[in-house]
Amino acid sequence: MAEFMQVLIQDYLIPAGGALLLLVAAWVVANWVRRLIRSSLTDTNFDLTLTRFFSNIAYYAILIFAVLGVLSAFGIGVASFAAVLAAAGFAVGLALQGSLSNFAAGVMLLIFRPFSVGDTIEVAGGRGTVQEIQLFTTILDTPDNRRLTIPNGSIFGDTIENETFHDTRRVDVEVGTDYPADLDRTRDVLLQAASGVEGRLQDKEPVAYLDSLGGSSINWSVRVWASTDDYWTVKGRLTQAVKDALDDAGIGIPYPQMDVHLDQLD
């Protein structure tokens, strides 16, 4: 019995404990290397998207080498293990077509760069600020602070709207006015309101565009330009300015209504 316990401890428990310590040490080192890479590249103003991608690659590479080292310690040849993986790769690949597609899409996103970390995008039914582009998914934070995790395959195969790609954006406010209102006077009132909006870009003139003749109103589009960072602030100011200017000029903003006529039958 004593001999059995000695064999058990020497041949199994000690190697198992060593393997466990190696895996824990690899996990600690992998986290440390990932933090080191991120901090080093961030200090050099390296691209944030690639910084996070490279740090994650280093993290997983260290863990994979640690696992291979444990297998070698238990007498499992790495070459034979690789052969087994290659043989099983076809079957696993068929089962994980979606994951492999997401991985390939993630690589393509990093190569073509339709957006970067910090951009605000709308894609695959979601809208938010890009926090991280991972191997299989992209993580967004919505304006109301919700976390969206979207598969890269859904992103790369969809139309990507990058709202913050350019430094400037056009601000549009739609408004309807009464039919009796004079068109030239209405245009002057709207242009004057747009010209006085704080935060608009002064090098681009505002526009009051006669859009259409609706069922109950004459529809206008008032447009100014603003820096991308000030877009929503300028939009709120422009909306208020248009409303106040029309009220001061006595020009009504109609709402949809229906006239019902009752015919009396003899």
Is 185 in contact with 199 (CB distance < 8 Å)? no
Beta bridge partner(s), residue 210: 220
The residue whose two tokens read 């293990």 is 81
Q: pLDDT tens digits, residue range 110-152?
A: 888 899 999 999 999 999 999 998 888 999 999 999 999 999 9
**Residue 101 confidence (pLDDT):** 83
Determine the residue type at 191.
L
User: What are phi and psi for residue 41, nearest 5 degrees?
Assistant: -70, -35
Query: How many CB atoms sit inside 10 A of residue 124's CB?
Result: 20
**Residue 26 confidence (pLDDT):** 84
3-state secondary structure the chain: CHHHHHHHHHHHHHHHHHHHHHHHHHHHHHHHHHHHHHHHHHHCCCCHHHHHHHHHHHHHHHHHHHHHHHHHHCCCCHHHHHHHHHHHHHHHHHHCHHHHHHHHHHHHHHHHCCCCCCCEEEECCEEEEEEEECCCEEEEECCCCCEEEEEHHHHHCCCCEECCCCCEEEEEEEEEECCCCCHHHHHHHHHHHHHCCCCCCCCCCCEEEEEEECCCCEEEEEEEEEEHHHHHHHHHHHHHHHHHHHHHCCCCCCCCCCCCCCCCCC
CA distance 229 to 223: 17
Beta bridge partner(s), residue 147: 141
Structural domains in the chain, CATH included, are 2-95 (1.10.287.1260), 115-162 (2.30.30.60), 168-248 (3.30.70.100)
User: What are phi and psi for residue 117, nearest 5 degrees?
Assistant: -60, 130
Which candidate, 121, 99, 101, places its Cα nearest to that of 49? 121
**Residue 75 confidence (pLDDT):** 63
Single pTM value for the model: 0.65
CB-based contacts of 136, cutoff 8 Å, min separation 6: 99, 102, 103, 106, 151, 152
Burial class (CB in 10 A: 0-12, 13-18, 19+), 233: middle
Rg (CA), the chain: 31
CA–chain centroid gap for 9, Å, is 52
Determine the residue type at 67.
V
Q: Which residues of the chain carry a pLDDT beneath 70?
A: 1-15, 73-98, 257-259, 265-266
Determine the residue type at 209.
Y
